[in-house]
Amino acid sequence: MTPSDKPESAKDAAVDLRDVRFRWRTGPDVLVVDRLSVAAGERVFLRGPSGSGKSTLLGLVAGVAEPQSGAVRVLGSDMARLSGAERDALRADGMGVVFQLFNLLPYLSVLDNVVLPCRFSRRRRDRAVASSGSVAAEARRLLDTLGLEEKARRGAKASDLSVGQQQRVAAARALIGAPRLILADEPTSALDADARDTFIALLLDEAKTSGAAVLFVSHEAALAERFDRAEDLATLNGAWTTQGRAA
Amino acid sequence: MSAPVLPLAGASLRARGLTAVLTVLTVALSVLLLVGVEKVRSGVRQGFENTISGADLVVGARTSPTNLLLYSIFHIGNATNSVSFETYEIVARAPGVAWTIPISLGDSHRGRRVIGTTEAFYDHYEYANGRRLELAEGRAFEAPEEIVLGAATARDLGYQLGDEIVVAHGGGDVSFAEHTDHPFTVVGVLKRTGTPIDRSLQVSLAGLEAVHGGGPDDHDHEAEEHGHDDHEHDEHDHHGHAEPDTITAFIVGLETRPLVLRLQRDLNTYGGEALTAIIPGLALAQLWSVVGVAEQVLAAIALFTVVIGLVLILTSVYSSLAQRRREMAVLRAVGARPRDVFLLMIGEAALLAGLGGALGVAAFYAAYGLYGVEFAERAGASLVGVRPGLFDIGTIAGVTLAASLLAVGPAFRAMRAALADGLAVKY
């Protein structure tokens, strides 16, 4: 039984942060957020210049960091009440993450990279199997949708791909097994304009199909129009506005 | 949930290619050395211990017990003195003595020892815990001009029953004096024993006498002297056989064991001539106590090379840590627990060591299969009981376990780093 099994309620937004305050060990506060919420299935664009606490925020949501105070609820679970292992399980079961760069394990094939979350989450494995008959078939379906099926069939290594292709593989990995929340940390900043547009379109379409909420962080304000809602971390983050810089 | 990362360890190592291969090779070589030293050591030991059994005493001229054992039974080195046949006969007839086997060495055929002895050799000589010599074909020698071959002699030199053989004086490959006028006829070939007897040839004492000019054949020998210290023979007819003046050594079997210490003391203090009587098992134990030091040094060296191999694994795991922080962040992002990161590092170290260990053991048996017998024969020893066994499994398991334990340090560090980094690695 994992936390995400809990029944839905009005409070069960995909992400809900209240009065969150975070700092690294002895340093000053780097993140002070009164309220940030992402409803189930909602696709939210979070604009933030570099150093505005984006990565810290995503770390809190993903459950790899804990705030000094405040409540972080993700997929219906109060993160503060979960053990480290339970947060890991929640992340494995319920979240797909796309980084800015270096998303893939270079020693695995494209296909093995995509199915990686299914190694750590039975729930996502089961959903992938339910969707396409097998984990590998679901991975191929996603890669096909993202225009990379050819690479998968040739057994290409992650290191053989262009950056744009790597990001799409990372998207397929984030989407496999239909997690309820996709976290994206500047996933398009290494892409040119065409690749960026294609990437965002594919990611949002697939998220819509599977009903996943998306929290998409980027400094490129122009991307905001494609999302249901946009927030600005520079104004959300009290620590940023008062201190200017933080990691 | 078990360990979802362990299959990744293999892929990660494969991707590191040459580095991983070299690490595995280093471990393999060190394990090859360790297994090699141990197998050769125990093989030689068992080979030696299997060479003679059931004998109560070995008696020769006054010398060190180890030396007597080596030259009389293992055909290593040469006797410096001999025992008079008269003394031999006195001991053979002594009360309590069940049987005796005379051994006369000093001649050879193409580098192989010729043993002058009697039928008692085939009736009483025991090896490998009570096994008797058996003929693969033919029969034991009866007449002075007949000769029996050890299994390896017949095989290596390609002799068959009925072939004629000339023996030479001395022990070398190239002999100075071939007794060409006294050829022997092969009448029997022994089955393989795994002892030095395999590489020998056996003739009767009378036959040996004949080639040295003391035998009852139709040549005119008139007590001629050859002038060799241990081969001075004169005519001496006894029960229709020619007998030598001296023999190299003899083996004694007693009717009851308890007599052995008294007889040994009597022989060692025998007034007629200076003798050494040894109990083979004790002399062998003495030999091992000397050889044991060298064995331990070798074993220690081998063990240290294994440690070096393991430290190399540790080095490669440690040095990969920094460049793998990104990989750990990716694993954390897809749901890996810190424990999985820990296991991945341990798994890689264990895999390197396990592969190296298995490869090393396999390499040893491959080398042994190809060169083992040749090596053993050149070394004058036979290796007994060299086969895959618990020691090999234990070595592979031990190396794997040791590498896993050593990797706990870097694995713990990787886990801590993964926890601290979370999803964001600062470059």
| pLDDT classification of B205: cutoffs 50, 70, 90 | very high
The answer, yes or no, to whether residue B228 has pLDDT greater than 70, is: no
Q: How large is the ipTM? A: 0.83
Q: Which chain B residue has the Cα nearest residue A83?
A: B337
> Are residues A89 and B340, on separate chains, in Cβ contact within 8 Å?
no
Q: Which of A134-138, B2-6, B389-393 has the lowest mean pLDDT?
A: B2-6
pLDDT of residue B5: 76
Element (H, E) at B136: strand B135-138
Interchain contact A92–B (C-beta under 8 A): yes
Q: Give the pLDDT score at B213.
A: 67
pLDDT on residue B221: 38
B279 or B372, higher pLDDT: B279
Task: Identify whether the C-beta of residue A191 lies closer than 8 Å to the C-beta of residue A112.
Answer: no
Q: How far is A185 from B12, CA to CA, in rounded Å?
A: 26
Contacts with A56 from chain B: Cβ below 8 Å:
424
Averaged over successive runs of 10 residues, the pLDDT of chain A (247 residues) comes to 43 79 76 83 85 80 83 85 86 87 83 89 89 88 82 76 85 89 86 83 88 88 85 75 50
pLDDT in tens, B270-326: 988 999 999 999 999 988 888 888 888 988 998 999 999 999 889 888 888 877 888
Predicted confidence (pLDDT) per residue in B249-262, tens digit: 999 999 988 889 99
Distance of CA A180 to the CA centre of its chain: 10
Q: What is the pLDDT of residue B295?
A: 87
Q: Three-class SS of residue B284?
A: helix
Residue at token pair 């790899």: A64
Given its phi and psi angles, is residue B167 left (phi above 0), alpha (psi -120 to 50 degrees) or beta? beta
Radius of gyration of chain B (CA): 31
Which residues does chain B have within 8 Å of residue A61's beta carbon, measured at their own beta carbons?
none
- CB-hemisphere CA count at 13 Å for B315? 13
Which tokens hold the place of B333? Answer: 């992002």
pLDDT for the residue A241: 59
Q: What is the largest CA-CA distance in chain A?
A: 53
Instruction: Provide mean pLDDT across the span B71-81.
Output: 87
Q: What is the DSSP letter of B32?
A: H
The DSSP H or E segment spanning A46 is strand A43-47
Confidence of residue B224 (pLDDT cuts 50, 70, 90): very low
Which residue type, as a one-letter code, is found at position B193? T
Residue A197 near residue A166 (C-beta atoms within 8 A): no
C-alpha closest to that of A204 among A145, A246, A148, A140: A145
In the predicted structure, residue B218 carries a pLDDT above the cut 50: no
CA B80 to CA A35: how far, in whole Å?
103
In the predicted structure, residue B392 carries a pLDDT above the cut 80: yes
Q: Judge whether A175 and A96 are in contact, CB under 8 Å.
A: yes
The H or E element that residue B187 is part of is strand B184-190
- Distance (Å, rounded) from C-alpha A183 to C-alpha A62? 8
The answer to whether A173 contacts chain B (CB < 8 Å) is yes
Q: Is the CB of A24 inside 8 Å of chain B's CB atoms?
A: no
Q: Assess A155–B contact: CB distance below 8 Å, yes or no.
A: no
The whole-angstrom separation of Cα B190 and Cα B74 is: 17
Under an 8 A CB cutoff, do A106 and B8 touch?
Answer: no
DSSP A99-124: -SS--S-TTSBHHHHHHHHHHH-HHH
What amino acid occupies position A100? Q
pLDDT given for residue B222 in this prediction: 40
Q: What mean pLDDT is predicted for residues B5-9?
A: 80
Structure confidence at residue A7 (pLDDT): 42
The token pair that represents B416 in the structure block: 């801590």
Kindly list the residues from chain A whose CB atom is less than 8 angstroms away from the CB atom of residue B337. 84-85, 88
User: Which residue in A105, A185, A186 has the most chain B C-beta atoms within 10 A of its own C-beta, making it the best mutation to test that interface?
Assistant: A105
Nearest to B334 among A106, A107, A173 (CB): A173
With 0-12 CB in 10 A as exposed, 13-18 as middle and 19+ as buried, what is A242? exposed
Can you read off the two tokens belonging to residue A137? 């078939």
pLDDT of residue B381: 66
What pLDDT sits at residue B102? 96
CA proximity to B211, closest of B194, B198, B228: B228
Beta bridge partners of B186: B147
d(CA B289, CA B285) in angstroms, rounded, equals: 6
Strand A15-23, strand A213-218: pairing: unpaired
Between B189 and A149, name the one with better pLDDT: B189
In this prediction, residue A131 carries a pLDDT of 84
CA distance B412 to B409: 5
pLDDT of residue A5: 43
Q: Identify any residues that bridge with A45 across adjacent strands, giving them in sequence order.
A: A216, A230
Q: Which residue of A has its CA nearest to B337?
A: A88
In the prediction, which pLDDT does A234 show? 75
The contact set of B with A (CB < 8 A) is: 1, 4-5, 7-8, 11-12, 14-16, 326-327, 329-340, 419, 422-424, 426
Angle between helices B390-406 and B338-378 (to 10 degrees): 140
**Token pair listed for A195:** 């690749």
Phi, psi torsion values for B165, nearest 5 degrees: -130, 140
Q: Are B308 and B406 in contact (CB under 8 A)?
A: no
Please report residues of A whose CB lies closer than 8 A to that of B7: 119
Choose the closest CB to A65 out of B1, B4, B422: B422
| Cα-to-chain-centroid distance, residue A103 | 12
Q: Which residue of A has its CA nearest to B340?
A: A120
Tokens read off for B276: 């050494």
- B89-123 pLDDT, tens digit each: 999 999 999 999 999 998 889 888 999 999 999 99
* Residue B424 scores a pLDDT above 80: no
Model pLDDT, residue B229: 44
Dist CA A9 CA A7 (whole Å): 6
- CA atoms in the 13 A half-sphere facing the CB of A206: 28
- In the chain, the amino acid numbered B107 is D
Specify the residue for token string 């007839």: B93
Max mean pLDDT among A154-158, A209-213, B2-6, B423-427 falls in A209-213
Give the residue among A190, A177, A166, A210 at the shortest CA–CA distance from A43.
A210
Distance of alpha carbon B150 from alpha carbon B146, whole angstroms: 14
Residue with the two structure tokens 């001496």: B236
Q: With CB atoms and an 8 Å threshold, state whether A58 touches B423.
A: yes
Comparing CA positions, the residue from A202, A218, A205 lying closest to residue A99 is A218
Which range among A79-93, B215-229, B313-327, B351-365 has the greatest average pLDDT?
B351-365
Q: How many CB atoms lie within 10 A of CB A106?
A: 16
Select from A194, A235, A201 the least CA-distant residue to A216. Answer: A201
Contact (CB<8Å) A59/B422: yes
